[in-house]
Chain A
Amino acid sequence: MIFTRNAKARRRLRESGLAYLLLGPSLLIFAVFIFYPFLSNFYLGFFKTPPFPGLPNRFVGLSQYQEVLTSSTFLNSVRTTVAFAFLTVPLGIALGLGLAVVAHQQLRGIAIYRTIFSSTVATSVAVASVIFGTLFNPVVGLLPWLGINPQPPILDNPDWALIAVALITVWQTLGLTFILMASGLQAIPDELHEAARIDGAAAWSRFVRVTMPLLSPTIFFAVVIGGIFAFQTFGQIDLLTQGGPLDKTNVLTYYVFTTLRTENNDGKAAVLAVALFSITLVLTVVQMKVLERRVHYAR
């Protein structure tokens, strides 16, 4: 008995040793590129950056966290980011789903539409921003040419700038959402739709009672990913509005960036980065807890 117990323990030790050995390389990479920077960033937030270069950083502990996280600029930036997410995610998913449903029909030449609908996936944020920046340009753009030339220009209008950037973002991510939704639709067996047709369900009823529940895992995934993307938005803000007008498009990522690069305040930027990470994490966890209850994972 004792012998076998020893043998078993030895085997277990050997197996766990092997497991750690195999995990080692990726653990090392994670440690160097993720864990260490993350912890040192958190630590950096304890130091106040001096107003003039050359002076030493001053340790202030958690007080900098408190100061930054209660500032009106930060709270405004959080509000802007949340608004941005609410503007982009539901609309993007609704449009992507709508296009996917249209493209799911067995019609002649539908492949051309599928290609067009998914094409923005090959467009970078920078390209999309330049395209729309040009279209909105008050001097050479398409809108003024069409006779639509609001003053101030859309991207300079505090009421419209965020909405405009959000719409551009929806357009730019539409390709990806469309592909996600289309593949989700394709995964639903045709026979279920056929059974529902024979069972007397009209098109809308089939969509609500069969398609939507079976697509819910895909939609759920798109909401979570879309939410994370929205909280990390940077490129289109930088290229189109630089956070303005009046900080109306100053989303968190852009705020981190300007704090670091314009203010050269790395202590404050570190605090903001930690805040951005925490908000994204909490939001994702909440989404998972709340939405997953409504998701049907079909087997």
Chain B
Amino acid sequence: MAGVTFDRVTKCFGDVVAVDDLSLDVFDEEFLVLLGPSGCGKSTALRMIAGLEEPSEGTIEIGESIVNDVEAKDRDVAMVFQSYALYPHMSVRKNIEFPLRTRKVASDEREKLVHDAAESLGLETLLDRKPAQLSGGQRQRVALARAIVRRPKVFLMDEPLSNLDAKLRVQTRAELIELQRELATTVIYVTHDQVEGMTMGHRIAIMADGKLQQVGPPQAVYDHPANLFVAGFIGNPPMNTVSGPIVRTASDPAGSFGIGVEGTVIPLPAGHCAAIERSGAKTVVLGVRPEHLRPATEGGLVATVAVIESLGHERHVDCRLADGQMVISRLSSSEPAPLVGERVNLTVDPLELHIFDGVTEEAIETT
């Protein structure tokens, strides 16, 4: 087992910078999720650990050693591909056995290891089938078995669940978490699905445009997004953001601010005002999670209910503000819901407000 370290790693393909100055420590036995939209550089980062791509700059360490010049076959990592990349001409047994054969493991030892891997993934009865005769879920298990059979230092997984149907995905998600715990091994898991990131990772590393945006435990990232991108990417429905000019409230010369939204001013608590003052931000964006935006009888923002989406256990109430900006309020299904077209007052506990610099889009720390 081993940790993985990116030290100022950049990868360019021609003029395109796929990974930009990435520094990241993945701890031994950690389940780290690399999360981001397509094209953010997360797969490239993973492929650099595997040795399938070479960094243009910077160094990558596995364990204690720098592996920039180590061949993929000698890095002792295993990878599960999105397409599973099973060898179509080999039986399940041969597929699982392949990494052992290339390392010249003795045949009785090989048989035992294949049997153990197959057993732990429930593949014993499928060993003589060809990949074409398996379902998507079974193929996925074979790919996993092929990865675990030789106990590598690091597991790399590139969107391994995205070809499964929704139900199987949820089930496999839990199984992967368990498997990682049992094997007590380092897993680096690439996905664009924030639910997988939230549920599976000890920590998540969020990337956009090749740059690392934030690293941290899922709940910490959810509660304290480092910038507007993370705020919008983590959470479903995403965080509401409202922008408007900073309005100095006349009644309070000590420097209280409000954010002007057409027809009203959202007042900010004193601590927030001081933080904005310190940051020197000229404009700010307010963020609030849908669950913190509550309909009330008076006060707050005045909005019109545009759409109500019922998910059974909760409702998403899409509201339009006077200036056309859309915000979503999340209500549990036991709470009374407003009607479509109804005017509502949306209030928020000021302590639940997130504040971002309107220009740099970075979060302004308020504590």
Q: Are A200 and B99 in contact (CB under 8 A)?
A: yes
Most buried by B among A198, A202, A213, A299: A198
Q: Are B81 and A191 in contact (CB under 8 A)?
A: yes
Closest to B75 in A: A198
Q: Is chain A's binding surface mostly helix, strand, loop or mixed?
A: helix
Known: A195-B81, A205-B102. A200 touches B73 (CB 8 A): yes
Among residues 29 to 64 in chain B, which have CB atoms less than 8 Å away from a CB atom of chain A? 50-52
CB of A201 within 8 Å of the partner chain: yes
CB of B222 within 8 Å of the partner chain: no
* Shortest distance between the CB of B67 and any CB in chain A (Å): 13
- In Å, the complex CA distance between A224 and B247 comes to 82
Known: A213-B89, A214-B89, A296-B88. A197 touches B72 (CB 8 A): yes
Q: Are B98 and A299 in contact (CB under 8 A)?
A: no
Partner of B79, one of A189, A198, A202: A198
Known: A196-B98, A198-B52, A198-B79. A299 touches B88 (CB 8 A): yes
Partner of B72, one of A198, A209, A213, A296: A198
- In Å, the complex CA distance between A114 and B81 comes to 30
Known: A189-B83, A296-B88. A199 touches B146 (CB 8 A): yes
Among residues 162 to 214 in chain A, which have CB atoms less than 8 Å away from a CB atom of chain B? 189, 191-192, 194-202, 205, 209-210, 213-214
CB of A298 within 8 Å of the partner chain: yes
- Those 8 A-B pairs whose CB atoms lie nearest each other, nearest first: A298-B88, A296-B89, A195-B85, A200-B102, A199-B99, A191-B85, A197-B72, A299-B132
- In Å, the complex CA distance between A196 and B73 comes to 8
With a cutoff of 8 Å between Cβ atoms, the chain B residues found around residue A198 in the complex are 50-52, 72-73, 75, 77-79
CB of B229 within 8 Å of the partner chain: no
* Shortest distance between the CB of A199 and any CB in chain B (Å): 4
- In Å, the complex CA distance between A199 and B100 comes to 8
Q: Are A197 and B73 in contact (CB under 8 A)?
A: yes
- In Å, the complex CA distance between A194 and B84 comes to 11
Q: Are B52 and A197 in contact (CB under 8 A)?
A: yes
CB of B27 within 8 Å of the partner chain: no
- In Å, the complex CA distance between A194 and B48 comes to 12
CB of B167 within 8 Å of the partner chain: no
Partner of A194, one of B85, B103, B146: B85
Having A189-B85, A198-B51, A209-B98, one finds 4 other A-B pairs with CB under 8 Å, namely A189-B83, A198-B78, A199-B102, A209-B87
Most buried by B among A200, A213, A296: A200
A-B contact pairs, 29 of them (CB 8 A): A189-B85, A194-B52, A194-B79, A195-B85, A196-B87, A196-B98, A196-B102, A197-B51, A197-B52, A198-B50, A198-B51, A198-B72, A198-B77, A199-B99, A199-B146, A200-B73, A200-B74, A200-B99, A200-B103, A201-B73, A202-B73, A205-B102, A209-B98, A210-B87, A296-B88, A296-B89, A298-B88, A298-B89, A299-B88
- Mark interface residues in B69-97 (1 if CB within 8 Å of A CB, else 0): 00111110111010101011100000000
- Mark interface residues in B105-140 (1 if CB within 8 Å of A CB, else 0): 000000000000000000000000000100000000
Closest to B89 in A: A296
With a cutoff of 8 Å between Cβ atoms, the chain B residues found around residue A210 in the complex are 87
Q: Are A191 and B83 in contact (CB under 8 A)?
A: yes
With a cutoff of 8 Å between Cβ atoms, the chain B residues found around residue A213 in the complex are 89
Closest to A191 in B: B85
Q: Are A214 and B88 in contact (CB under 8 A)?
A: yes
* Shortest distance between the CB of A297 and any CB in chain B (Å): 9
Closest to A212 in B: B89
Closest to A199 in B: B99
- In Å, the complex CA distance between A194 and B78 comes to 11
With a cutoff of 8 Å between Cβ atoms, the chain B residues found around residue A201 in the complex are 73, 98, 102
Closest to A205 in B: B102
- Mark interface residues in A72-102 (1 if CB within 8 Å of B CB, else 0): 0000000000000000000000000000000
Closest to B156 in A: A198
Q: Are B88 and A195 in contact (CB under 8 A)?
A: no
Closest to A295 in B: B89
Closest to A213 in B: B89
* Shortest distance between the CB of A194 and any CB in chain B (Å): 5
- Mark interface residues in B166-193 (1 if CB within 8 Å of A CB, else 0): 0000000000000000000000000000
- In Å, the complex CA distance between A198 and B52 comes to 8
Most buried by A among B71, B72, B75: B72
Among residues 321 to 364 in chain B, which have CB atoms less than 8 Å away from a CB atom of chain A? none
- In Å, the complex CA distance between A213 and B81 comes to 21
With a cutoff of 8 Å between Cβ atoms, the chain A residues found around residue B50 in the complex are 194, 198
- In Å, the complex CA distance between A209 and B83 comes to 19
Closest to A201 in B: B102
With a cutoff of 8 Å between Cβ atoms, the chain A residues found around residue B79 in the complex are 194-195, 198
Q: Are A192 and B102 in contact (CB under 8 A)?
A: no
Among residues 268 to 315 in chain B, which have CB atoms less than 8 Å away from a CB atom of chain A? none
Q: Are B87 and A192 in contact (CB under 8 A)?
A: yes
With a cutoff of 8 Å between Cβ atoms, the chain B residues found around residue A214 in the complex are 88-89
- In Å, the complex CA distance between A209 and B101 comes to 11
- In Å, the complex CA distance between A298 and B83 comes to 15
- In Å, the complex CA distance between A287 and B85 comes to 31
- In Å, the complex CA distance between A194 and B71 comes to 12
With a cutoff of 8 Å between Cβ atoms, the chain A residues found around residue B77 in the complex are 198
With a cutoff of 8 Å between Cβ atoms, the chain B residues found around residue A299 in the complex are 88, 132
* Shortest distance between the CB of B2 and any CB in chain A (Å): 16
- In Å, the complex CA distance between A298 and B89 comes to 6
- In Å, the complex CA distance between A296 and B91 comes to 12
Among residues 230 to 276 in chain B, which have CB atoms less than 8 Å away from a CB atom of chain A? none
Closest to B152 in A: A198
* Shortest distance between the CB of B227 and any CB in chain A (Å): 33
With a cutoff of 8 Å between Cβ atoms, the chain A residues found around residue B78 in the complex are 198-199
- In Å, the complex CA distance between A202 and B104 comes to 12
- In Å, the complex CA distance between A156 and B71 comes to 54
- In Å, the complex CA distance between A41 and B71 comes to 64
Closest to B71 in A: A197
* Shortest distance between the CB of B131 and any CB in chain A (Å): 8
With a cutoff of 8 Å between Cβ atoms, the chain B residues found around residue A202 in the complex are 73, 102
- In Å, the complex CA distance between A122 and B223 comes to 66
